[in-house]
Chain A
Amino acid sequence: MTLDRTRPLFIRLLLLALLVLVPPVALLAHGAMDDFARGLVPEMDKKAAVVGRDLASSIERAVNYGIPLDKLHGMPEFFEPVLGANREIRYLAVTDRDGRILFISGADAALLAPFFSSADFDIAASRKALIDNFVDITQPLMFKSALIGHLHVGLDQDYVQSRVLEIGVDIGVVTLVSLLVAVEILLFVVTFNITGPIRAASTVMDRVRHGDFSATCGVTSEDEVGRFIHTFNAAIRYADGLFRRLEAYLDEVKTAHFDKTVVERVAEIESRIRFLFRFSRSSQPEVVNEHQATDIRLPLFLFVFAEEISRSFMPLYIRDLYMPVDWLPLEMAIALPIAVFMLCIAAISPAAALVSARRGSRRVFLIGLAPATIGFLMSALATNVWDFTLWRSLTAVGYALVTMACQSYIAQASRQQNRTQGLGVYVGAVLTASICGTGIGGVLAERVGFAATFMISAILAVIAGLLIHRLMEAAQPAQDAAPERRVAFLPLLRNWRFSALVLFAAIPSKIALTGFFFYLMPLSLMRSPDTDLGDIARMMMLYPIAVVILSPLASRLADRMGWKAGLVAIGGLIGGAGLVLPMVSPDSDLLGLAIVLLGVSHGLSASPQLAMIPDICWTECRNIGQTNVLAFLRLTERIGSVIGPFLAAAFIPLFDYTGAVVALGWVVLGMSTVFALLSFAFGSGPHIEAEDTE
C-alpha cells in the first residue's frame, strides 16, 4: 500500500509545527518543572513535620496514660494508614533515648539502625537529616517535659524525581496531542484553501490549453488564492464573451450577406472554431471543484477523536455504573456495552455504505452525527449498564454511518487517483485521532471525571458536524451511480484461503483488540494501586503509535518481498506472544510491552491482510468486485470484535485478570499458529486454484 500524496505535505507540516510548538513548550515546561520541584521539597518537609507532630502527640498521649514507650501496642496498624495515604513518606519509626529502634514501618530496621544509634538526637526540637536516600524528619517525644525518644518520618528523595517525571510525561502527551491536532488543522487549511483551489485551477487551465473554455473554477474565497482564481475565471469568461460576440457577428454576416461564398466561408470559419475550441452552450459555464480525500480528513479526525476519548476508561466507567444482578456478573456486564457497540457497527455498516453511495456522503455524515452526539451526551448521563448500552449502540449507529460516509467520500474523491492513497488518508486520520483521543481522554477523565469527558466527546462531534456543514457544501463529489446489486458472498467462504484468513488471522486479531485492548487492559492496569487514569491512557497510546510507525514499513516490506501471508502470520504470532507475556510476571511493564507488541502485530498484518485479497480471491474479485470482497472481510472479522470482550469476561472468573490476558493470548497465539502453518500451503498460484474451484 502506498501512502496518500498528502504524506510529504503532512510530514513537512509536522516538522513546521514541531519547530514552532515544541521548543517554547519545552522551555516553559522546563522552567515550570524546576519551580515545581523546588516548591515541592519544602512542601513535603512541612507535610512530614505536620504528620510527625500528629503521630508524636498521639504517642505522647498514650505514654501519658502510663503506657511505656516500648510497650506501645499495634504500631504497624497505627502507622499503616499514614504510609498508605502519603506516598512520599517511605518509613515511620520510633526510637528510644539511645536511638534504638523500637518500632519501624516501611523500611528495613537494619538499614537505619546504625544511623539512628550514632546520631546525636538528644535535643528537644524537630530536625532534618539525610540518611542514604531518605530525608529523615525527627520529632522529639516528651513525657513530663523529659525527652523519652523520637519519632522519625522518612521522606523518599526519589519521590520528587518521580513526580517531576510524571508531570513531564503528562506535558509530553499533551504536547504530542496538540502537535497532531495542529498538523491536522494545518493540513486541512492548506489543502482546503490552497492545494484544492490550485488543483481545480490547473484542471481548468488544462482544459483551456486544449481549447475548452466551458468551465470555471468553483472557488469563492476572498484571499489571494480566491482573487487569483477570480481573475483566472474572469479571463475565461472574457474569452467566452469574445466568442459569443464573434458568434453574433458571424450570425449577422450569415443572415445579412447575400454573397453565398462569403456565407459559406464564414460558416466554415465558424465550424473550424467550434472544432478547435469548446464553449459552454448556455453561456453558463460548468463549475469545476476539485474533490480531495483530504477534505474530509479533519471532520473524520475530530469524530474519531470524540469516540476514542473514552477508550482508556470505558470499562472503568461501566464498572461504576454496574449494579449487582444475580444473572449478570460484573465481568459480563462490562463486556456487554463494548460488544454491543461492535455488533451495532457490524450490523449497520453494510447498509450505511449503501446509503452513503445513494444519498451522498455529506448528508449521511450529518445524519450519522445526530445519533452519535446524542449517544455521547446520554452516555455522560447514564445511570446503569442498560441505558448505557442503549446509548452506546446509538453512538455505534452514528459511528458506522459517519465512517462509511467518509469512506465513500474518499472512494469517490480519489476515483481518478489511486484508491489506496485515499485509504491512506482514512487510516491516517483514524490512527492520529486514536493517539490523540486515547491520550487526552485519560488526562481529561482524571481531571474532570468520566461524565464530563463524554460531554467533551459530544462537543467534538458537533464541531465535526459544523465543519462538514459549513465547508463541504460545495465540495460534494459527483455521485457514483454504480447500482449496488445484491451479491452472493457465501461462495467466498468456500475459498479456503479466504476462510483461513478470516478465521485464523482477521478474527483473532480483532479478539485481541477488543478483548484485551478495549476490555481487559484498563481493568487490569487499574488494579495496581499506583496507576491512575493518565497512566492507563499513556500506556494505551502505545498501540496506535506502534501501528502508525510500523504500518508504512510493513507495507513497504510486503511490496518488496511479496510475502504477504507471511507478514500476516508473523504479525498474528507476535500479537499472541505479547499477550502471553504477562504470564512471566503480572508487572504492568509487561502489559505495556503486550500493548506495543499488539500494535506491532496489527501494524504488520493489517495492510498485507488487505493486499492479500486480490491474490487469494482472484476470481471472486473479478466476479463481485474487490470492494465487495473487502467489505465482506470487514464484516466477518467483526465477529471477533463482538466475541472478544465476552471471551475476556468469561476468562476473568477462571484465571483472574492477568490470567485472562494470558488465556486470551493463548487463544490468539493458537489461532495464529494455525494460520502460520496454513500460510505455507497458500504457496504460489492461488489464481489458478481459485479458478478451479469456480
Chain B
Amino acid sequence: MTLSTALRRLAAALLLMMVAVWPAAAAEDKAAVKPKPLRIYMALWRGWEEAAQGFKDYFINQNIPVELIVRDAAQNKDKLKEFVAEAKQMKVDLVFTWGTTVSEEMLGRIDSVDPTRHITDIPAIFAIVSQPLGSMVSDFASSGRNITGTIYLVPTETQVNLIQSYRPFKRLGVVFNPLERNAQVAIAELTAIGAKTGFSVESRALELSDGKPDPASIKGKVAELKAAAVDFLYIGPDTFLNVNRDILTGAALEHAIPTFAAGENPVLTSKALFGGVYRYYTVGQLSAYKAEQILLHKIKPADIPIDPPKRLSIIINMPVVRQLGLYPPMKLLGLAEVIDPTQEGKAK
C-alpha cells in the first residue's frame, strides 16, 4: 500500500508540474487533481459494522474522496426494492451490497437477473455473501456481469483442518436454522468432508414458532448434542444464530462443549472458543480496493476476480479457553489473535 501511495503522490506531483509548465492544459488538469467525490451507495442488512467500517476507512487512508450514501435495511427484505429504485434514480457511481439477502435482492441471482428489478447498469460490489458461487456468480475468476465481490468465509475444508489442529475430533455438532439455506449447504459440505476424513456430523434443527425459529429452543438443542457426545460445536454462517450467539455459546459453555465459529462475532463478542475467519474489516477494505479498481482505474467489474483477503485470522477466546481448561496447541497459539479482556494492554 505504501508503494502505491508513493506512486500516486508522485503522479500527482508530476501532474502539478505539468499544470505549472503547461498553462493551456491547466483547466482540464485541475479537474483531475481535484475530482468531484465519487458517489457510492452502500446497502447494509443489519446496520453499520466492521465490514462497512473497513470499506469506508480504505478510502480515507487512500485519500480518495468519496460520498457514501448509507442505507440500512434493518433485516427487512421489503426495503431493498426501495434501495434499488433510489440507487438508480440517484445515478450513483457504484453500489456496495452487504450480505447474501441484500446482494441477491438488489443485484439478482445469477439465473434471474432482471434489469427492471435489479441494478445492472451501475457497477456493483458484493461482500459478506456466504455462498457466492452458484448464487451471485458461476466462476470466481469473473462474474461475467457488471459486478464483482469478495469472499468472507473460510473454505469449509480449512475450517475442519483448523478444528482438527486444535484437538482431533470424531463428532461435530451443529445447531441450525431450518429456514436458512446457507446453514444447510454448510452441513452438507461438512458431512461430505467428514465422510472422507473420518468424523460424523450431528445436526439439530431449531424449532419454529409462527414460521420463525424459536430462540428458546437453542438450549435444548445444545443439550441434545451434549447427549450425543459431540467433541465440538460448529457455528456456521447463520444470521439467526449470529444474532442469538450469546444464548448458543453460553449453552455450549455450560455443557463444556468447545465451539468453533466460521464468523468472527461469536468469538469476538460472545463465548465461542475459537474461530477461523477472514475479518470483516479486512473484507471491507478488500471490497473498497476493488471499488477503486473499478472507479479510478477503469477496470471492468467482470475482469476483477472474486477472492478472499490474503490473511486468515485465527481468533482464540482466552477466557473461554481457561473456563474449559482446553488449551490451544502452541503452534496454533503462535499464529492466533488472542482475545483476552483481562489481559488488556499486556497481551502482546
B155-185 near A? 1/0 per residue, CB < 8 Å: 0000000000000000000000000000000
B305-324 near A? 1/0 per residue, CB < 8 Å: 00000000000001001100
Q: Does A491 lie at the interface of the complex (its beta carbon under 8 Å from any beta carbon of B)?
A: no
Q: Which of B5-13, B37-45, B234-242, B329-337 contacts its partner?
A: B329-337
**B117 to A: closest C-beta gap in Å:** 47
Q: Which of A70-78, A321-329, A628-636 contacts its partner?
A: A70-78
Q: Does A58 lie at the interface of the complex (its beta carbon under 8 Å from any beta carbon of B)?
A: yes
On whether the beta carbons of A78 and B330 are closer than 8 Å, the reply is yes
The residue on A at minimum CB distance from B325 is A71
The residue on B at minimum CB distance from A81 is B331
List chain B residues, Cβ under 8 A from A64: 343, 346-347
Residue in A66, A74, A75, A78 whose CB lies within 8 Å of B318: A66
Q: Does A59 lie at the interface of the complex (its beta carbon under 8 Å from any beta carbon of B)?
A: yes
List chain B residues, Cβ under 8 A from A62: 327, 330, 333
On whether the beta carbons of A74 and B334 are closer than 8 Å, the reply is no
> In the complex, what distance in Å separates the CA atom of A72 from the CA atom of B328?
8
On whether the beta carbons of A74 and B343 are closer than 8 Å, the reply is no
On whether the beta carbons of B346 and A74 are closer than 8 Å, the reply is no
Residue in A73, A77, A78 whose CB lies within 8 Å of B327: A73
> In the complex, what distance in Å separates the CA atom of A444 from the CA atom of B338?
48
Q: Does B340 lie at the interface of the complex (its beta carbon under 8 Å from any beta carbon of A)?
A: yes
List chain A residues, Cβ under 8 A from B331: 74, 77-78
Residue in A58, A73, A75 whose CB lies within 8 Å of B328: A73
Interface centre among B325, B333, B346 (most CB of A within 10 A): B333
List chain A residues, Cβ under 8 A from B329: 73-74, 77-78
On whether the beta carbons of B318 and A65 are closer than 8 Å, the reply is yes
Q: Does A167 lie at the interface of the complex (its beta carbon under 8 Å from any beta carbon of B)?
A: no
Task: Give the size range of B's interface with the partner.
Answer: 10 to 19
On whether the beta carbons of B340 and A58 are closer than 8 Å, the reply is no
On whether the beta carbons of B330 and A65 are closer than 8 Å, the reply is no
List chain A residues, Cβ under 8 A from B321: 65-67
Contact residues of A: prevailing secondary structure: helix
> In the complex, what distance in Å separates the CA atom of A72 from the CA atom of B340?
18
On whether the beta carbons of A58 and B327 are closer than 8 Å, the reply is no
The residue on A at minimum CB distance from B348 is A61
On whether the beta carbons of B322 and A73 are closer than 8 Å, the reply is no
> In the complex, what distance in Å separates the CA atom of A64 from the CA atom of B348?
10
On whether the beta carbons of B334 and A58 are closer than 8 Å, the reply is yes
> In the complex, what distance in Å separates the CA atom of A74 from the CA atom of B343?
23
**A354 to B: closest C-beta gap in Å:** 59
The residue on B at minimum CB distance from A72 is B330
List chain A residues, Cβ under 8 A from B338: 65
Which residues from 55 to 80 on chain B have a C-beta closer than 8 Å to any C-beta of chain A? Answer: none
**A84 to B: closest C-beta gap in Å:** 13
List chain A residues, Cβ under 8 A from B328: 73-74
The residue on B at minimum CB distance from A65 is B318
The residue on B at minimum CB distance from A59 is B330
List chain B residues, Cβ under 8 A from A66: 318, 321-322
A67-104 near B? 1/0 per residue, CB < 8 Å: 10001111101100000000000000000000000000
List chain B residues, Cβ under 8 A from A75: 330
**B314 to A: closest C-beta gap in Å:** 14
**A514 to B: closest C-beta gap in Å:** 43
List chain B residues, Cβ under 8 A from A61: 333, 348
Residue in B330, B340, B343, B347 whose CB lies within 8 Å of A77: B330
> In the complex, what distance in Å separates the CA atom of A65 from the CA atom of B348?
10
**B326 to A: closest C-beta gap in Å:** 8
> In the complex, what distance in Å separates the CA atom of A67 from the CA atom of B336?
15
List chain A residues, Cβ under 8 A from B318: 65-66
List chain B residues, Cβ under 8 A from A71: 325, 327
The residue on A at minimum CB distance from B329 is A74
Which residues from 522 to 569 on chain A have a C-beta closer than 8 Å to any C-beta of chain B? Answer: none
Given A71-B327, A73-B327, A74-B329, decide whether A65 and B340 contact each other with a Cβ distance below 8 A: yes
> In the complex, what distance in Å separates the CA atom of A67 from the CA atom of B325?
8
List chain A residues, Cβ under 8 A from B334: 58, 78
List chain A residues, Cβ under 8 A from B340: 65
List chain B residues, Cβ under 8 A from A67: 321, 327
List chain A residues, Cβ under 8 A from B322: 65-66
Interface centre among B325, B328, B330, B332 (most CB of A within 10 A): B330
**B341 to A: closest C-beta gap in Å:** 12
Which residues from 26 to 82 on chain A have a C-beta closer than 8 Å to any C-beta of chain B? Answer: 58-59, 61-62, 64-67, 71-75, 77-78
List chain B residues, Cβ under 8 A from A77: 329-331
> In the complex, what distance in Å separates the CA atom of A201 from the CA atom of B281?
93
On whether the beta carbons of B343 and A65 are closer than 8 Å, the reply is yes
> In the complex, what distance in Å separates the CA atom of A77 from the CA atom of B328?
12
> In the complex, what distance in Å separates the CA atom of A64 from the CA atom of B321?
13
> In the complex, what distance in Å separates the CA atom of A75 from the CA atom of B325?
17
> In the complex, what distance in Å separates the CA atom of A64 from the CA atom of B333?
12
The residue on B at minimum CB distance from A64 is B343
**B168 to A: closest C-beta gap in Å:** 11
The residue on B at minimum CB distance from A67 is B327
> In the complex, what distance in Å separates the CA atom of A62 from the CA atom of B327?
9
**B338 to A: closest C-beta gap in Å:** 6
List chain B residues, Cβ under 8 A from A78: 329-331, 334
**B55 to A: closest C-beta gap in Å:** 32
> In the complex, what distance in Å separates the CA atom of A661 from the CA atom of B327?
48
Interface centre among B321, B331, B338, B346 (most CB of A within 10 A): B331
The residue on A at minimum CB distance from B167 is A73
**B52 to A: closest C-beta gap in Å:** 31
The residue on B at minimum CB distance from A74 is B329
Which residues from 585 to 600 on chain A have a C-beta closer than 8 Å to any C-beta of chain B? Answer: none
On whether the beta carbons of A73 and B330 are closer than 8 Å, the reply is yes
> In the complex, what distance in Å separates the CA atom of A66 from the CA atom of B329?
14
> In the complex, what distance in Å separates the CA atom of A61 from the CA atom of B348?
8
Which residues from 19 to 66 on chain B have a C-beta closer than 8 Å to any C-beta of chain A? Answer: none
The residue on B at minimum CB distance from A66 is B322
> In the complex, what distance in Å separates the CA atom of A77 from the CA atom of B333?
12
The residue on A at minimum CB distance from B338 is A65
> In the complex, what distance in Å separates the CA atom of A287 from the CA atom of B215?
113
> In the complex, what distance in Å separates the CA atom of A259 from the CA atom of B338?
133
On whether the beta carbons of A72 and B327 are closer than 8 Å, the reply is yes
List chain A residues, Cβ under 8 A from B348: 61
> In the complex, what distance in Å separates the CA atom of A432 from the CA atom of B112?
77
**A234 to B: closest C-beta gap in Å:** 79
> In the complex, what distance in Å separates the CA atom of A588 from the CA atom of B321?
48
Interface centre among A65, A67, A72, A75 (most CB of B within 10 A): A65
**B310 to A: closest C-beta gap in Å:** 22
> In the complex, what distance in Å separates the CA atom of A74 from the CA atom of B167?
9
> In the complex, what distance in Å separates the CA atom of A75 from the CA atom of B333?
11
List chain A residues, Cβ under 8 A from B330: 58-59, 62, 72-75, 77-78
The residue on B at minimum CB distance from A79 is B330
> In the complex, what distance in Å separates the CA atom of A535 from the CA atom of B333?
39
Interface centre among A61, A73, A75 (most CB of B within 10 A): A73
Tell me the A residues contacting B by CB distance below 8 Å.
58-59, 61-62, 64-67, 71-75, 77-78
| Sample (17) of A-B pairs whose CB atoms are under 8 Å apart | A58-B333, A58-B334, A61-B348, A64-B343, A64-B347, A65-B322, A65-B338, A65-B340, A65-B347, A66-B318, A71-B325, A72-B330, A73-B330, A74-B329, A74-B330, A74-B332, A78-B330
Tell me the B residues contacting A by CB distance below 8 Å.
318, 321-322, 325, 327-334, 338, 340, 343, 346-348
Supply 9 further A-B pairs (C-beta < 8 A) apart from A61-B333, A62-B330: A58-B330, A64-B347, A65-B321, A65-B343, A67-B321, A71-B325, A74-B331, A77-B330, A78-B334
5 smallest A-B Cβ distances: which pairs? A74-B329, A78-B330, A67-B327, A73-B327, A73-B329
